[in-house]
Amino acid sequence: MYNITNQYINCFINRFPRRTYFIILIGFQIYGDSMTTSDHDRIKALSLEISRLKKERNAVLLVHNYQLPEVQDVADFLGDSLDLCMKAKSVEEEIIIFCGVDFMAESAKILNPSKRVFMPDPSAGCPMAHMVTADGLKKLKARHSDAAVVSYVNTTAETKALSDVCCTSANAPLICRAIPEKKIIFTPDRNLGRWTAEQVPEKEFILWEGYCPTHQLRVKLEDLLELKRRHPDALVMAHPECLMEILGHADAVLSTGGMLRYAKESNAGRFIVATEIGMVYRLQKENPKKEFIAMEGAVCPNMKKTTLEKVARCLRKMPEENEIALGEELMDAARKPLERMLEISRFAKK
């Protein structure tokens, strides 16, 4: 049984229907009144069916760290945006089932145009990705013709197609340092862009005014300060999509993949996790002797749309409406900045 705090559980009860938070509790293996034999049986039956269907379909399940716990548990590969981009590029299976939000599945299709890519719930979008318009970006590029466009992977295929290179929260400073241009148009997240600009002061940044609703509106300073007051020994790990006032109180500013490494390597026994609440499950599972405290309310509703039932249905029926469909010309243009990012990242590891 994983050791989680009551505040993690309670934050779901007022935000989601009973069915949603019940699934989350099941994923944490909480027993008693919240759990019944039929629920155990449901999880087991669906997990076995998904495993069987993956083999029959020659499919691979890529899952983001913010997904529901029970979905994380059936993943073939679990990771952050950079991890998933790299994995999507190298998978051998003919079918990719992507448990995340729309831009992630689009990126998998762009990097694997010959493969079929499905989302269990195609309505799982990313509000921030859709804050950029092609017309607006074209006009901004025209005003700053000497600037490179660096786009967070949390963007649509159309935005990527207008970009020089992509980045993730794990490699944004690396990417911005590596390119030769001294001026950077950074889209769409102004918070990640502002933090990256601080790490790369030698360059000029023009920030698109987008943001992640979960990190900007639901990770609140007053909540963080209260958690720090109640847990003065806890280290704060914060995602760079958070506001600067949050990052100023962090012991480490990290992508979700970075959080996993930091928590594992740290001698600390308690951490406050300033990012989407789903991250706490993997952190706790992989570090059972440590305590991870979630930010109440830091829930991305779109990341919670994917359920085991939807994954199983997607594998069973392969619905046309769930498949990612992009034009070849658009994919060719969007692939270039993604592959440039992956190339820079690979070179940096050597």
Which distant-in-sequence residues (6+ apart) come within 8 Å of 179 by Cβ? 148, 150, 164, 165
As a whole number, mean pLDDT of residues 176-197 equals: 98
Q: What's the pLDDT tens digit per position in 272-314? A: 999 999 999 999 999 999 999 999 899 999 999 999 999 999 9
First to last CA, the chain: 39
- Distance, in Å, from the CA atom of 224 to the CA atom of 236, rounded to the nearest integer, reads 9
Which of 26-40, 145-159, 182-196, 222-236 shows the lowest mean pLDDT across its residues?
Answer: 26-40
* Residue 186 binned pLDDT confidence (cut-offs 50, 70, 90): very high
- Which single residue is written with the structure tokens 């930010």? 295
**Which one, of 283, 277, 271, lies nearest residue 300 by Cα?**
277
Mark whether 20 and 119 lie in a shared domain.
yes
Q: What's the pLDDT tens digit per position in 107-119? A: 999 999 999 999 9
Mark whether 16 and 118 lie in a shared domain.
yes
Q: Is the pLDDT of residue 176 over 90?
A: yes
* pLDDT given at position 33: 40
Average pLDDT, the chain: 90
Mark whether 107 and 188 lie in a shared domain.
no
Mark whether 331 and 199 lie in a shared domain.
yes
Mark whether 226 and 262 lie in a shared domain.
yes
Mark whether 312 and 286 lie in a shared domain.
no
Mark whether 308 and 231 lie in a shared domain.
no
Residue 136 in any domain: the answer is yes
Q: Structural domain of residue 194, as residue ranges?
A: 129-213+327-349
Q: Is the pLDDT of residue 82 over 90?
A: no
Residue, of 241 and 7, whose pLDDT is higher: 241
* pLDDT given at position 12: 43
As a whole number, mean pLDDT of residues 221-230 equals: 98
Residue 265 in any domain: the answer is yes
Q: What's the pLDDT tens digit per position in 329-350? A: 999 999 999 999 999 988 776 6
Mark whether 144 and 184 lie in a shared domain.
yes
Q: Is the pLDDT of residue 22 over 80?
A: no
Count of CB atoms situated within 10 Å of the CB of 87: 18
- Distance, in Å, from the CA atom of 52 to the CA atom of 58, rounded to the nearest integer, reads 10
Q: What's the pLDDT tens digit per position in 27-58? A: 333 323 455 778 788 889 999 999 999 999 99
- Which single residue is written with the structure tokens 């699934």? 23
CATH of the domain at 180: 3.40.50.10800
Which distant-in-sequence residues (6+ apart) come within 8 Å of 27 by Cβ? 68, 69, 70, 72, 73, 281
Residue 332 in any domain: the answer is yes
Which of 7-21, 78-92, 107-121, 335-349 shows the lowest mean pLDDT across its residues?
Answer: 7-21
Residue 153 in any domain: the answer is yes
Mark whether 155 and 226 lie in a shared domain.
no
* pLDDT given at position 84: 87
Residue 1 in any domain: the answer is no
* pLDDT given at position 256: 95
* Total domains, the chain: 3
- Distance, in Å, from the CA atom of 256 to the CA atom of 253, rounded to the nearest integer, reads 10
Mark whether 19 and 66 lie in a shared domain.
yes
Mark whether 247 and 105 lie in a shared domain.
no
Q: How many CA atoms lie within 13 A of 144 on its CB side?
A: 18
Q: What pTM was estimated for this model as a whole?
A: 0.88
Residue 80 in any domain: the answer is yes
Residue 272 in any domain: the answer is yes
Residue, of 119 and 20, whose pLDDT is higher: 119
Mark whether 15 and 108 lie in a shared domain.
yes
